[in-house]
Amino acid sequence: MTRRIEVLYDGECGLCRRSARILQRLDILRQLDWVDFRRTSVDVDTSRLEHEMAARSGGRTYFGFSAYRVLSWRVPVFW
Protein backbone atom coordinates (compact mmCIF):
# COMPACT_ATOMS: atom_id res chain seq x y z
CA MET A 1 0.00 0.00 0.00
CA THR A 2 1.32 3.42 -0.96
CA ARG A 3 1.49 6.06 1.73
CA ARG A 4 -0.46 9.23 1.19
CA ILE A 5 1.39 12.51 0.83
CA GLU A 6 0.75 15.26 3.35
CA VAL A 7 0.62 18.65 1.65
CA LEU A 8 1.22 21.70 3.86
CA TYR A 9 -0.10 25.01 2.59
CA ASP A 10 -0.92 28.51 3.90
CA GLY A 11 -4.66 28.76 4.46
CA GLU A 12 -4.43 32.55 4.77
CA CYS A 13 -2.94 32.93 1.28
CA GLY A 14 -5.49 33.29 -1.52
CA LEU A 15 -3.16 31.88 -4.16
CA CYS A 16 -2.27 28.93 -1.91
CA ARG A 17 -5.94 28.14 -1.21
CA ARG A 18 -6.76 28.32 -4.92
CA SER A 19 -3.81 26.08 -5.83
CA ALA A 20 -4.87 23.58 -3.15
CA ARG A 21 -8.46 23.52 -4.46
CA ILE A 22 -7.29 22.90 -8.02
CA LEU A 23 -4.89 20.15 -6.96
CA GLN A 24 -7.58 18.54 -4.79
CA ARG A 25 -9.83 18.27 -7.83
CA LEU A 26 -7.03 16.71 -9.86
CA ASP A 27 -6.25 14.17 -7.13
CA ILE A 28 -8.66 11.52 -8.43
CA LEU A 29 -6.81 8.69 -6.65
CA ARG A 30 -7.05 10.54 -3.32
CA GLN A 31 -3.34 10.29 -2.60
CA LEU A 32 -2.95 13.73 -0.99
CA ASP A 33 -3.85 14.90 2.52
CA TRP A 34 -4.22 18.68 2.75
CA VAL A 35 -3.07 20.48 5.90
CA ASP A 36 -3.44 24.22 6.51
CA PHE A 37 -0.31 24.81 8.61
CA ARG A 38 -1.95 27.84 10.23
CA ARG A 39 -4.68 25.68 11.78
CA THR A 40 -2.50 22.86 13.04
CA SER A 41 0.85 22.42 14.75
CA VAL A 42 3.58 21.31 12.34
CA ASP A 43 7.24 20.52 12.96
CA VAL A 44 8.42 22.42 9.89
CA ASP A 45 9.86 25.93 9.55
CA THR A 46 6.62 27.94 9.34
CA SER A 47 8.38 31.03 8.00
CA ARG A 48 9.30 28.94 4.96
CA LEU A 49 5.72 27.67 4.66
CA GLU A 50 4.54 31.29 4.39
CA HIS A 51 6.34 31.46 1.04
CA GLU A 52 6.10 27.99 -0.46
CA MET A 53 4.08 24.80 -0.32
CA ALA A 54 5.57 21.69 1.26
CA ALA A 55 4.95 17.97 0.83
CA ARG A 56 5.81 15.19 3.26
CA SER A 57 6.47 11.74 1.91
CA GLY A 58 8.51 8.81 3.17
CA GLY A 59 9.70 10.70 6.25
CA ARG A 60 11.06 13.61 4.21
CA THR A 61 9.74 17.13 3.68
CA TYR A 62 10.02 18.77 0.27
CA PHE A 63 9.49 22.48 -0.42
CA GLY A 64 8.51 24.54 -3.45
CA PHE A 65 9.29 22.98 -6.82
CA SER A 66 10.53 19.77 -5.19
CA ALA A 67 7.16 19.44 -3.43
CA TYR A 68 5.31 19.78 -6.74
CA ARG A 69 7.56 17.10 -8.24
CA VAL A 70 6.63 14.71 -5.42
CA LEU A 71 2.92 15.48 -5.97
CA SER A 72 3.21 14.94 -9.71
CA TRP A 73 4.19 11.28 -9.19
CA ARG A 74 0.85 10.65 -7.46
CA VAL A 75 -1.59 12.75 -9.51
CA PRO A 76 -2.34 10.99 -12.84
CA VAL A 77 -3.07 14.16 -14.80
CA PHE A 78 0.61 15.10 -14.38
CA TRP A 79 1.86 11.76 -15.73
The string over 33-60, giving b where at least 16 C-beta atoms fall within 10 Å of a residue's C-beta and e elsewhere, is eebbbeeeebeeeeeebeebbbbbbeee
Parallel, antiparallel, or unpaired: how do β-strands 32-36 and 54-57 relate?
unpaired
Tell me: the pLDDT tens digits for 21-55?
999 999 999 999 999 999 988 888 888 999 999 99
pTM of the predicted protein model: 0.87
- For CA atoms 69, 71, 72, 74, the dihedral sign is positive
